[in-house]
Chain A
């Protein structure tokens, strides 16, 4: 079975400060990891993914994420937060050995960036 945990329901950060949204995962085999963002009344938008290779992955809108196999984590980061980054962020995992292509999502973390 595969699972994802996002330990923080909400993260508050001031504009211009660095932000981190945490994610830990559990899979039987090697993980494929994804971050998505959801704005109000919108679908999920893909931000970035880790499949293999460099542990630091760069994505859209200045976001990046670091894969840490020993800690089974894939935290989302951004050096300088913008008010427009305020949204709901989802981490997702897929087991590379899994028979299906289904994604398992975490519960989501609401990011609030204050001016």
Chain B
């Protein structure tokens, strides 16, 4: 158990809908990262937050947004969902801004029908 929690574990929804994925980092970790894992794209970095501030953006669609709250939990919002958004979404956290390893949560499996 990495100490990173994600809810829900599974999410099934329809095209055009909006969903929110939630992540709680390990106790004391200030950095939260979101990744998408799909069969065709592999593991891709989406966005990084450090202590409530956005630090880096990767291949994140404009339909997607994220935030990190004062208690350090983070939410990833996905809107106007398309079939191609079906994937595993992972949250990770790390202790410091720097070279420390990232610890991954169990992921949320999103299925868009």
Which interface residue of B90, B101, B103, B105 has the most chain A CB atoms within 10 A? B101
Residue among A43, A90, A108 making CB contact with B106, cutoff 8 Å: A43
With a cutoff of 8 Å between Cβ atoms, the chain A residues found around residue B4 in the complex are: 43
Is residue B86 contacting chain A, with contact meaning CB distance below 8 A? no
Is residue A115 contacting chain B, with contact meaning CB distance below 8 A? no
Which interface residue of B50, B90, B104 has the most chain A CB atoms within 10 A? B104
Residue among B31, B56, B97, B104 making CB contact with A44, cutoff 8 Å: B104
Q: CB-CB contacts of B58-74 with A at 8 A, as 1s and 0s?
A: 10000000000000000
Residue among B56, B99, B101 making CB contact with A102, cutoff 8 Å: B56
Interface size, B (range): 20 to 34
Is there an interface contact between B2 and A45, defined as CB atoms closer than 8 Å? yes
Is there an interface contact between A100 and B48, defined as CB atoms closer than 8 Å? yes
Is residue B28 contacting chain A, with contact meaning CB distance below 8 A? no
Interface contacts (Cβ under 8 Å), in number, total: 55
Is there an interface contact between B43 and A101, defined as CB atoms closer than 8 Å? no
Is there an interface contact between A34 and B104, defined as CB atoms closer than 8 Å? no
Shortest distance from the beta carbon of A99 to any chain B beta carbon, whole Å: 7
Is there an interface contact between B33 and A43, defined as CB atoms closer than 8 Å? no
Given contacts A43-B2, A105-B43, A108-B42, contact A100 B55 (CB under 8 A): yes
Shortest distance from the beta carbon of A33 to any chain B beta carbon, whole Å: 10
Residue of B with least CB distance to A94: B99
Q: CB-CB contacts of B1-24 with A at 8 A, as 1s and 0s?
A: 010100000000000000000000
Q: Chain A interface (Cβ within 8 Å of chain B)? A: 32, 34, 36, 42-46, 49, 51, 90, 94, 96, 99-108
Q: Could you name 6 residue pairs across A and B whose Cβ atoms are closer than 8 Å?
A: A43-B90, A44-B92, A46-B103, A49-B99, A102-B56, A106-B42
- Report the 4 A-B pairs with minimum CB-CB distance, sorted nearest first: A100-B56, A43-B104, A105-B43, A44-B104
